Structure formats: C-alpha cells, structure tokens
Structure 1
Amino acid sequence: MAQAFPFSAIVGQDEMKTAILIAAIDPGIGGVLVLGDRGTGKSTAVRALAALLPKMRAVVGCRYGCDPAETASHCEACAALRGSGKSHLIPVPVVDLPLGATEDRVVGALDLERALSQGVKAFEPGLLAQAHRGFLYIDEVNLLEDHLVDLLIDVAASGENVVEREGLSVRHPARFVLVGSGNPEEGELRPQLLDRFGLSVEVRTPEALADRVEVVRRRDAFEQDRAAFIERWQKDDERIRKQITAARKRLAEVTITDAVRERISALCAALGTDGLRGDLTLLRAARALAALDGDRIVGDAHIRRVAAPALRHRLRRNPLDNSGSSARVERAVAELLV
C-alpha cells in the first residue's frame, strides 16, 4: 500500500479537515461531502485519514470486523466467535469505491473459485463488507452510476447489506462513514444521496501566494523522500490521533443546553431546511466539535463553525436570493447568533 501524505501536513483547508475529524469522532453524523476544484487536496485528506485513525477492536476471525463489545449484531458468522472472547486491534478501514465498480464488486457475490473447485456456494464479501465500521470513499461521487447510488442509499439507511442471488442469501452489517469528493462543474448529486451526507464542505484553490508556495514545497518534499517527510510530521499526526481518541471518550459528557437547542432549530427554521435532519446534524456536529476542542458545553462558537457544512446542502433554491448557500447560512448565523 502506498504511503499517504500526512494529514497534519495539509496546508489550509481547515473546514475540510475539521469536518473529517468530526466524522471520525461521531460516525453517526452521516459522512462528509467535499466539493471543489481539482488539485485542492480532497482525496489527499481522505487517504491521509487511514493512517491517522486509532486502531479499533474486532472479533478475531470475523470477516466483517465486528465489534466484540456489541451484544446485538447482524453478523451471524461471528456469533460463535464472539463467545470465545478473543479480539484484536485492526486498522480502521478506508475503502475506495471506484466509479467503474460492478454491483457484485460492491455488494459481494458468489465465490466462483470455491464453487468450481469444491462445489460449495460461499459468499465473497464486497467493498461494503470491507468498509464496515470504517470509511467508504468515492472520488467523483457526482458521476456515480444511478443503480449504485440507489444501492448506497439503501445500505446507508439500514446499516445492513442484503445479498440474494445465485442461490445465496446473505445479510451482514455494513455501517460506514460515507465520504465523497467531486467537482460540482461536472454534475450535481441526486438529492437523495446528497441528503445522506451529514456535512458538505467547499474547498478552493489557495489564493494567498505564501499558501500556494507552501503547498508545492511540501508536496515536492513528499515526492522526493516519502519516508523522511512522513517521519517529520509523525509527531503532529500522533497528536491529532490522541485528540480524536480523547474526543471520542469525552463526547458523551458534552452538555447541550435547551437554549442552544432552540438556537439551532431557530437557525434551521430561518433557513427553511427540509425536515429535521439539518437540526440533528448541526447539533451532533457542534457537540463533536466541542469534544474535539476539549470543551464540556456546546456554545454559539461551535455552532458558528459547523453551521455552513451542516446546512449549506440542505437549502432550497430561493429565486429571490441570488447569493450562494454558504452566504445565506453565514447571514442567518450573524442575525440569530449575536
């Protein structure tokens, strides 16, 4: 596996990096969509996440990496294994879903080698199984074929993958954080898939000359000697890794007052977001950010920082307002969070 560019060495793009860390702290937020120009570090940041995340504990021998601490599991294969009490630490999976992937490659299919050599019908897990309890990354997600979009929407909603084909009937857990990136100029996402992303981030090419120079300098140093560059940033990545671990432990202790809940809902109502998914996402994102910052109480400062990523992709088009969704969110935040 190729060595990834260190997460801590990415220049700027603070909103994107914060959103990715929030999703790592609270996977229930629903994933991250990163839209912007080519060459702005979208895929670099996601692939850097794989080396950054703390390892997770899984049942030994379970092909889906089930959590031994979960008493209720959809995985029938590891039910007996869980009783043995054996577990080990494994890397959190960050799985790429290529645009050209077949449905069998994504959901899993009959293991043809065993079927031909042994005459046994066995299931060969797909990308959804590999991504369980981790991250599923789709580059150019706005170009994903419709039948795969439908499939992802179903699995993301249920947390379970069901395969019934070629005489097989298999169901297994498939709970993952969906991360997508793309260039909005190449096409829009279907609304159903867009709604499944908890946070939506916009990235742009750095405008400041010093930032552009630093990006090129670091990338060139990485290409010249990857091992040395990674070692140089190892302490910074380790610091972020410890920050994630501490934030996960602190998350349940973070307090949200009724007054803050009211301001969150008032903000969503003022913007006219559809349904209540925006309210819930903004609340959870603000709580995860507070945990990341080491704060015990969610305040207006946390809401301000995550309001745009949580809400910008949930706004209806307003024919009387030509300003972008980000500007509308920022304006509403300025009016309601004094």
Structure 2
Amino acid sequence: MPTFPFSAIVGQDEMRQALLIAAVDPAVGGVLVFGDRGTGKSTAIRALAALLPPMLAVTGCPYNCDPASPADLCPHCATMPGARKKSEKKPVPVVDLPLGATEDRVVGTLDLERALSAGVKAFEPGLLARANRGFLYIDEVNLLEDHLVDLLLDVAASGVNTVEREGLSLRHPARFVLVGSGNPEEGELRPQLLDRFGLACEVATPTDIATRIAVVRARDAYERDPEGFCAAHAKGNAATAKRIEAARKRLPSVTVPDAALEQAARLCLALGTDGLRGELTLMRTARALAALDGATTVTDDHLRRIAPAALRHRLRRNPLDESGSTVRVERALAEVFA
C-alpha cells in the first residue's frame, strides 16, 4: 500500500511545519512529536519520505556515502581511488528503529554467514548505517530502553558510530535527523535525549466538527482506494517537494540580522533556558522557515512562528507556575515582541 500523501494531511500545522524545516536543514537537530493517540503523528513522519529529493551516493555503499564529501566517507570508500567511485541517485532513507531492537541490530555486528562460510571477519551494518544522511524514526520514543538512549546520544553528538564486536573495530559515518513520536501519558523522555531534539511539537485531537469530518473522510478515501487517493494528491506532493528543494538552495543566502539575534536572546533570557542551544536552534529554524517562505532575511515573524516548537522543551520546571510550557513561551513572546 502506498504511503499516505503528506499534502493530504488535515490540520496539525505545527507538526507539518517542523518536519518541513527538518527536511530543509538537518542541522536543526531533529523533531519530537508528542500528543494523543490517533492524531496522525506516524502518518506525517512516514509521508515526509516521499517529499525528499533523491540524494547522490557512492554506488553499493551500505552507508550512503556522499562522493562530494571526502571527509565523511566510510573506511571502504575512503580507500577507493576517486576514478572508481561511481555514484547513483537513491531515495533519502527513512529508517524505523523498533522499541525491541537489540544493540547489535542498531549498531551492526559480525557477519556470521561470511565468518562461518569463508572464515572472514566482516561487518554487517546496522540501522544506524542505513540511516546515514537520512532520517531515523522512533515511534513511542519515550519507551525506548536506556541502553539504546545512551547509544543514540553518543552517535547523535559525534555523527560517527564506533563498533567493537568479536575482534572487529570499525568506525563509520552516522549523521541522521532524529525524529521521534510518543504519547506523554505513557512516560516522559529522558532530559538528555529531549535536549537533542531541535524542535518539539504538540499535537492534539481536533475539537471542531469540520476538521474531524475532513480527517475521517480523507482516511476513509485512502483506505478504500490507496492508489487513486495518492494520485489525486500527487500534484500537491510534487509542489511541496519543489518547495523543499528550492528552500535548500536558498538556505545559504538567507541572512540573520543582529536585531533578530538580539530578539532571540531576549526571548531565551525571559524564559530562563539553560545554555545557548535555544538561541542556536531559534536561529537555524527561523532561517530554514524563511527559506521555505522564499524570504532572504529572518524577521520577527519567523521567530514568533517557530519559537514555541524550538523552546517549549527547554524550559526549567517552575513549581510556582502551573502554566504549561507552551503558555509560558506565548507569554514571553508577548512581552519580548510587544
């Protein structure tokens, strides 16, 4: 069955905006989507894959190495003469990391078949290898086991997966956009992993009749005739894909004036965020949003639109303030941008 089209998703504007920003600039640090069950979190994330322009990779490389980036090549591609590096266009990988995955499956392990048949110690790449230069998606990320969380923190910080297994010692590139979804009722995310996500979105069940009817009608039409439904929304998907590609080309030329940086710093100070990651994320995401809008300069409007998703998960708990994090961000926005 074909994937539900991204352009056919009804509502959930903040989530769709955050996913598009991550597609334009992977440096924003990934997207976390928290909310009620049955609100389209997994559907939207998987639909994103169909929008991404194909990437150029070394032919046959299990790590999707970029031939134009010699510094990030895997050990095999790094020793290959330049003339022998054939390249091919392939879809950007979107890899699912199941909750029950073993560490060997995630990081890779010894290829037992080659070891037993040929007596050769060879490496069998894992999920992190497949996700290099793509997206790693974790559904119910708040239920992920601690040892896998620790592993992901190390790899996300360095962009390199180091494997020590059965006499094997290997390092390979593992740069990916981390995308997670979950239901807050089932447990909180560890602060160290939460801080690794650039954007955090809240999705809720629609409360107006018209939106609920539109969602149900779209889903029913898709399940009754998936091919026909996708064909009907092919033009919308193609337009969104072109928008992403144009924004990627425009991104290096988008400027962030000192006034915008000052407003970002004022906002983070007003909210009491720890460190400077809040300002960095605000700057990067506002720049990507400006590129999506076709603008050449980041404005206060871009900062206001992206601030809740960029900052709500970076706030300290305030026992004297029972307001939710989104309300606190909106209150600070009203003060800073008055």
Question: What TM-score, normalized by structure 1, do the two folds share?
Answer: 0.98
Aligned pairs for 1:155-166 (under 5 A) are 155-166=155-166
Where in structure 1 do 4 or more consecutive aligned residues deviate above 3 Å? none
- In structure 2, the partner of 1:110 is 110
- In structure 1, the partner of 2:182 is 182
Contact 1:110 1:124 in 2 (8 A): yes
Equivalenced residue count is: 337
Distance change >3 Å, CA 302–CA 286, structure 1 → 2: same
Give the counterpart letter for 1:13 in structure 2: Q
User: Secondary structure of the residue that 1:72 maps to in structure 2?
Assistant: helix
Give the counterpart letter for 1:268 in structure 2: C
Contact 1:286 1:306 in 2 (8 A): yes
Aligned equivalents of 2:155, 2:191: Cα separation in 1? 16
Compute the displacement of 1:222 (Å).
0.5
- In structure 2, the partner of 1:39 is 38
- In structure 2, the partner of 1:282 is 282
Aligned pairs for 1:74-85 (under 5 A) are 74-81=73-80, 83-84=82-83, 85=85
User: Secondary structure of the residue that 1:319 maps to in structure 2?
Assistant: coil
Give the counterpart letter for 1:109 in structure 2: T
Compute the displacement of 1:321 (Å).
1.1
User: Secondary structure of the residue that 1:11 maps to in structure 2?
Assistant: coil
Contact 2:133 2:174 in 1 (8 A): yes
- In structure 1, the partner of 2:52 is 53
Contact 1:94 1:135 in 2 (8 A): yes
Compute the displacement of 1:288 (Å).
0.3
Contact 2:74 2:171 in 1 (8 A): yes
- In structure 2, the partner of 1:67 is 66
Aligned pairs for 1:144-159 (under 5 A) are 144-159=144-159
- Matched-pair identity in %: 72
Give the counterpart letter for 1:57 in structure 2: L
Aligned pairs for 1:1-338 (under 5 A) are 2-81=1-80, 83-84=82-83, 85-338=85-338
Q: Deviations over 1:222-266 (max 9, x none)?
A: 001111000000010000000000000000111111111011011
Give the counterpart letter for 2:167 in structure 1: G
User: Secondary structure of the residue that 1:169 maps to in structure 2?
Assistant: strand
Q: Deviations over 1:114-145 (max 9, x none)?
A: 11111111100000000000000000000000
User: Secondary structure of the residue that 2:120 maps to in structure 1?
Assistant: coil
Q: Deviations over 1:62-118 (max 9, x none)?
A: 221111111312511112446125211100000000000000000000011111111
Q: Can you give the 5+ residue segments of structure 1 that lack an aligned partner in the other structure?
A: none
Q: Can you give the 5+ residue segments of structure 2 that lack an aligned partner in the other structure?
A: none
Name the Cα RMSD after superposition. 0.9
User: Which piece of structure 1 moves more, 127-136 or 51-60?
Assistant: 51-60
Contact 1:141 1:181 in 2 (8 A): yes
Give the counterpart letter for 1:152 in structure 2: L
Contact 2:66 2:73 in 1 (8 A): no
